[in-house]
Amino acid sequence: MKNRVDKPALAVAAALLVMAILPLAWRNDYALSFGINLLQFSVLATAWALFSGPTRYISLATTAFYGIGAYAVAVLGEQLPWPLVLLAALALGSLVALGVGLATLRLSGVYFVIFTFGLAELVKQLVNWYEVNITKTSGRYVFLEISQQAIYWQLLVLLALALLAGWWLRRSRLGLALRVIGEDETAASHLGIDITRTKVLLFVVSAGFMTLVGAVIAPRWTYIDPAIVFNPNVSFQVLIMALLGGPGHWLGPLAGVLPLTALFEFLSVNFPNYFSVLLGATFLAIVYLVPGGVVALLERWDRRRAAALVKEVPNVSPARPPEGARTPPCSVEVSQ
Amino acid sequence: MNPLLQVDDLQKNFGGLRAVGGLSFEVAAGEVLGLLGPNGSGKTTALNLISGALARTGGSIHLDGQRIDGLAPHRIARAGVARTFQLVRVLGGMTCIENVQVGLAFRDAPSFGEASVAEAIELLRRVGLDTRAHVLAGDLTYIDQKRLELARALALEPRLLLLDEWLSGLNPSELQDGIGLIKSLRAGGLTVVLVEHVMDAVRALCDRCVVMCAGAKLAEGATATVLADPAVVDAYLGRAHA
């Protein structure tokens, strides 16, 4: 275990490098546009799974943070240098996530889901109210000199960072704490885990990535209004991608992003008028067809990992009686 | 010298219901104290108040002179109070060794990852689960889950161990093993408060007992004396049997 090369991590690093070079070879805008779409969902789904994967708190607030990022750019884009705009967006998204996290992470199960769904709508309506009543506008133009290629590369950097976070989390105490919280919060707290701090921290990190995606992608829209950037479809698409791929593994969401981005693209190009209907049908199909849903995927991963561990951990027990000799099912050594 | 655990005038109300009212007792270091009483007398509530699962309505709890009531459960755990649950709470989706490693990873002096494997295996061996280290905890029998929960609690290196009916539901041979295990913990200097209905275990293990009834302390003293107290027999069996 110690010196073994982490093959998936190397493969991912190589794939990211290849993806970084690809735009230089692409001659048509469509490939670049699809690449941007793919990357934006890759970051969103990976970021979603950072928090929701191990804790099993299903969040539908993705679009809230995505929209906050986009709006931050619309408001500040022409007033500050680009890196500062991104920082400001990140700060705003993180602040909202912190408040929401502290207020809601005591909710569990379906109540958390509904709250996050409501949150996205609330933020959208607040922005709407502010724009209509205070600034007297109903939308904003985003005219920034940022090329599609630059958007692509920024998203790629975000993806690399999100994957790095997921990869590191898998090995860290923090990641272990999140998994224990997902298993049993009460037990977690009695085992010395600060459950509130752990959950809020990861919720903020996850939301930070989502906010940055919204910010980076904003110049692509040229015009935004609350209905465009606070679109609940984004939350549901990200959720279904992560669930299809398997949110329990740092690479899981990507496995769902690839086929579903392609499918959504195909649907919106070929059946633009029926997109929402077909999107709904896809959701239903996935929920029905992925056997046992997410849980089965999660468990299979856990089992495989457990099986791998058996080979790695040396048997430290010095004098173990043969299997059959342990007749009383609860034989306990009282040698102390 | 301070008692290891000092509970003073502890109170807990659930709305209009007084679950614990004015409970006081002390536990000396190295002692095994039995917390007895009929169902609904407030034993588990008292345990939940000590471990921080519930917030007290009144009173105070000190661990080794340090006030711990009002602290979050994880702080109390890190201060050295480990517990098991009346209804077992193992981490079902994780393996046995991982369950124990969680206890090691978040205690006051944590050990994590590779560094914790040997210690985790040793703790599993202590409760007789070392051969099942890589079995998912959710796949264990109920009894094995109880043993795993104990190993996980011990992983915290507690100064005080709270056992909530850990010996209930065992068959006679398992019970003897379980009693032997707790005796070995006491021999190692661990202080234990156990809520228990199995009187054989109480007699074999407890130096002293506190008997609760309707949220208050009914009797306290050496185990044999307390169990012979007519008021205690009365509370347990009802007046007709006394």
Are A302 and B108 a contacting pair at CB < 8 A? no
> Chain B: residue nearest A177 by CA?
B102
A4-10 long-range contacts (CB < 8 A, ≥24 apart) are A8/A251, A9/A167
> Coil, strand, or helix at residue A3?
coil
Distances A150 to A109, A116, A144, A247 between C-alpha atoms, Å:
39, 31, 12, 29
- Asked whether residue B237 carries a pLDDT value surpassing 80, the answer given is no
SS (H, E, C) B33-64: EEEECCCCCCHHHHHHHHHCCCCCCEEEEEEC
H-state helical runs in A26-107: 29-55, 62-76, 82-104
> Coil, strand, or helix at residue A319?
coil
For B:141-180, CB contacts with A below 8 A are 141, 143, 147, 152, 156, 170, 173-174, 177-178, 180
Provide DSSP, A237-285.
HHHHHHHHH-TTSTTHHHHHHHHHHHHHHHHHHH-GGGHHHHHHHHHHH
The distance of B217 to chain A (nearest Cα, Å) reads 26
> Chain A: residue nearest B145 by CA?
A330
Contact criterion met (CB below 8 Å) for B212 and B218: yes
- Kindly state whether A312 is in contact with chain B, defined as any CB-CB distance less than 8 angstroms: no
| pLDDT above 90 coverage of chain A, percent | 56
CB atoms within 10 A of CB B222: 12
pLDDT per position as a tens digit, B21-34: 999 999 999 999 99
**Exposure b/e, B138-169, CB count within 10 A at least 16 = b:** eebeebbbbbbbbbbbbbbebbbbbbbbbbee
pLDDT per position as a tens digit, B105-126: 999 999 998 999 999 999 999 9
| pLDDT above 90 coverage of chain B, percent | 83
Separation between Cα atoms, residue B92 and residue A298, nearest integer Å:
13
* Residues near B182 by beta carbon (within 8 Å), at least 6 away in sequence: B32, B163, B166, B167, B192, B194, B205
pLDDT per position as a tens digit, A24-78: 988 888 899 999 999 999 999 999 999 998 998 999 999 999 999 999 999 999 9
Average pLDDT score, chain B: 93
Confidence class of residue A295 from pLDDT cuts 50, 70 and 90? very low
> Coil, strand, or helix at residue A38?
helix
> Coil, strand, or helix at residue B15?
coil
Confidence class of residue B47 from pLDDT cuts 50, 70 and 90? very high
> Coil, strand, or helix at residue B4?
coil
The pLDDT of residue A286: 80
CB atoms within 10 A of CB B30: 14
Contacts of A331 in chain B (CB under 8 A): 128, 177
Contact criterion met (CB below 8 Å) for B176 and B206: no
| Residue B201 CB-density burial (10 A; 0-12 exposed, 13-18 middle, 19+ buried) | buried
pLDDT per position as a tens digit, A82-139: 999 999 999 999 999 999 999 887 787 788 999 999 999 999 999 999 999 988 888 8
The distance of A272 to chain B (nearest Cα, Å) reads 43
Tokens of A309: 């561990």
**Structure ipTM over 0.90, yes or no:** yes
B89: nearest CB among A186, A298, A334:
A186
Using DSSP bridges, classify how beta strands B208-213 and B191-195 pair: parallel, antiparallel or unpaired: unpaired
The pLDDT of residue A333: 35
Separation between Cα atoms, residue B88 and residue B91, nearest integer Å:
10
Q: What is the rounded end-to-end Cα distance, in angstroms, of chain A?
A: 33
Tokens of B177: 């093993």
- Asked whether residue A167 carries a pLDDT value surpassing 80, the answer given is yes
- Kindly state whether A173 is in contact with chain B, defined as any CB-CB distance less than 8 angstroms: yes
Distances B73 to A168, A298, B49, B97 between C-alpha atoms, Å:
27, 29, 10, 23
Does residue B238 or residue A79 have the better pLDDT?
Answer: A79
* Four-point Cα dihedral B222, B226, B229, B235, nearest 10: 170
- Asked whether residue A328 carries a pLDDT value surpassing 50, the answer given is no
The distance of B143 to chain A (nearest Cα, Å) reads 8
Tokens of B212: 């609760």
The distance of A293 to chain B (nearest Cα, Å) reads 16
The pLDDT of residue A296: 52
- Asked whether residue A318 carries a pLDDT value surpassing 50, the answer given is no
A278-282 long-range contacts (CB < 8 A, ≥24 apart) are A279/A233, A279/A236, A279/A237, A282/A240
DSSP state of B160: E
The distance of A310 to chain B (nearest Cα, Å) reads 6
Distances A5 to A1, A2, A10, A228, B83 between C-alpha atoms, Å:
9, 9, 8, 44, 39
Domains and CATH numbers, chain B: 1-80+158-242 (3.40.50.300), 87-156 (no CATH)
Q: What is the rounded end-to-end Cα distance, in angstroms, of chain B?
A: 40
B91: nearest CB among A180, A317, A323:
A180
The pLDDT of residue B69: 94
Angle of helix A29-55 relative to helix A7-25, nearest 10 degrees?
150
Provide DSSP, B71-128.
S-HHHHHHHTEEE--SS----TTSBHHHHHHHHHHSSSS---GGGGHHHHHHHHHHTT
Separation between Cα atoms, residue A63 and residue A149, nearest integer Å:
24
DSSP state of B65: T
Are A194 and B93 a contacting pair at CB < 8 A? no
Contacts of A184 in chain B (CB under 8 A): 89, 91
Does residue A284 or residue B13 have the better pLDDT?
Answer: B13
As separate numbers, helices (DSSP H) first and strands (DSSP E) second, chain A gives 14, 2
Q: What is the mean pLDDT of residues A157-168?
A: 96
Contact criterion met (CB below 8 Å) for B103 and A191: yes
> Chain B: residue nearest A176 by CA?
B102
Confidence class of residue A287 from pLDDT cuts 50, 70 and 90? confident
- Asked whether residue A334 carries a pLDDT value surpassing 90, the answer given is no
Separation between Cα atoms, residue B190 and residue A279, nearest integer Å:
60
Separation between Cα atoms, residue B133 and residue A247, nearest integer Å:
25
- Asked whether residue B81 carries a pLDDT value surpassing 90, the answer given is yes
The pLDDT of residue A145: 87
Contact criterion met (CB below 8 Å) for B185 and B215: no
Distances A133 to A2, A129, A130, A138, A183 between C-alpha atoms, Å:
61, 6, 5, 10, 46
Q: Please state which of the ranges A296-300, B78-82, B140-144, B215-219 shows the lowest mean pLDDT.
A: A296-300
Task: Calculate Rg over the CA atoms of chain A.
Answer: 23
pLDDT per position as a tens digit, A245-273: 877 788 888 888 988 999 988 888 898 88
